[in-house]
Amino acid sequence: MISDRKLEHLLICKNYDVEFKDKTTGFEDIELIHNALPEVDKNEIDLSTSVFGKKLDSPLFITAITGGHPAAKEINEQLAIVSEENNIALGVGSQRAACEHPELEDTYSVVRENAPDCLLIGNIGAPQLHLANKAVEILDADILAIHLNPLQESIQPEGDLDARGYLESISEITDIVDIPVMAKETGCGISAETAKQLVDAGVSFIDIEGAGGTSWAAVETYRSEDRYLGELFWDWGIPTAVSTAEVASAVEVPIISSGGIRNGLEAAKAIALGADSVGMALPFLKKSVSQDELNQFIHYFNDSLRIAMFLVGANTIEELKQSRLVISGKTKQWLDERGINTKNYSRR
């Protein structure tokens, strides 16, 4: 039953090591260029950003985590309260369970009740065309995310392994819902080619969710009797820094960089690479034990982003996007091979 699976995912992510083992996000290969004369008042730095007409106080998104199990209701309530307080965007986990089992609806509707003004993002799978409008209605969503998770489906004992027709279904979803549709991966990243296909299908927002943070092969390994395949694919995917640069080079729609981002310094690098916002899931699940922990985490994130902006002389997120950076190591190698000129970043 989906609802039991949701609880297992929460418990595994809270209590086990589910992050990539040897592969990293690639942000360690990215250096913003220090500006010894920033000519900026740090206290005046503006972190605000606008997403489909809604003004947010920070480019930080809490990306899809949960819902669909009574235990998830409390987590969603906590996340909704801090999102409203800090005026940041919040995504919920897959809404399929609630669309099919009305008794689970309140595990999602609790979010809007506690976050009346927040930018909220609903969540369904690519083949779930028939659930799209119901998902939007249950959450009163501003954006509908369609999750892409072929790795998880491959390792999950009950996985859906026929991925034919997904692009067409995504295109139909963009036609039938009257809010913007986002495509999001779940920790393996999105390539330049896939980003173009998604935008051609009508998607107006991409959350890249690259490799280096939570590994869904890892999560499913803990649920499987046989660990062989999960262990083998634990570190599969496009590193987050690479995926961010690939997608930014390929399409014009707004981009969320995510997957293993853990602080405002990495966020600053992601934005200078071309992202408009950044997202995190696992840290918010771990901090959802109290409002104080969640608020402190958001405070550290915003302040570390502000310091990075001060040190490159950026007053706004738009100015940060133009900041120069140097890309080295494996990340440079990858981008070189893929035809992305890294000098466009270092000599802007």
Does the footprint of ligand FMN cover residue 214 (CB under 6 A)?
Answer: yes
Binding ligand FMN by CB under 6 A: which of 29, 105, 209, 266? Answer: 209
Task: Give CA torsion, residues 321, 141, 171, 276, to 10 deg.
Answer: 0
Does the footprint of ligand FMN cover residue 177 (CB under 6 A)?
Answer: no
**Residue span binding ligand FMN (CB under 6 A) among the ranges 5-13, 97-105, 294-302, 303-311:** 5-13
Does the footprint of ligand FMN cover residue 280 (CB under 6 A)?
Answer: yes
| 261 carries a ligand binding annotation | yes
Q: Where are the beta strands (DSSP E) in the chain?
A: 30-32, 49-51, 54-56, 60-62, 89-91, 120-125, 143-147, 181-184, 205-207, 255-258, 277-280, 325-327
Nearest-angstrom CA–CA distance, 258 and 241: 9
| 43 carries a ligand binding annotation | no
Q: Kindly report the length of the chain.
A: 348
Does the footprint of ligand FMN cover residue 247 (CB under 6 A)?
Answer: no
57-116: contacts with ligand FMN (CB under 6 A): 63-66, 93-94
Helix (H) or strand (E) holding 33: none
C-beta of 34: minimal distance to ligand FMN in Å? 27
What type of residue sits at position 318?
A: E
Task: Answer for the pair 294, 79: CB distance below 8 angstroms, yes or no.
Answer: yes
Q: Could you tell me which of 135, 133, 55 has the C-alpha nearest to residue 98? A: 135
Could you list the residues known to form a binding site for FMN, using ranges: 63-66, 94, 123, 184, 214, 260-262, 281-282
Footprint of ligand FMN (CB under 6 A):
9-10, 13, 63-66, 93-94, 123, 147, 184, 186-187, 209, 213-214, 258-260, 280-282, 285
Could you list the residues known to form a binding site, using ranges: 5-6, 63-66, 94-96, 123, 152-153, 184, 214, 260-262, 281-282
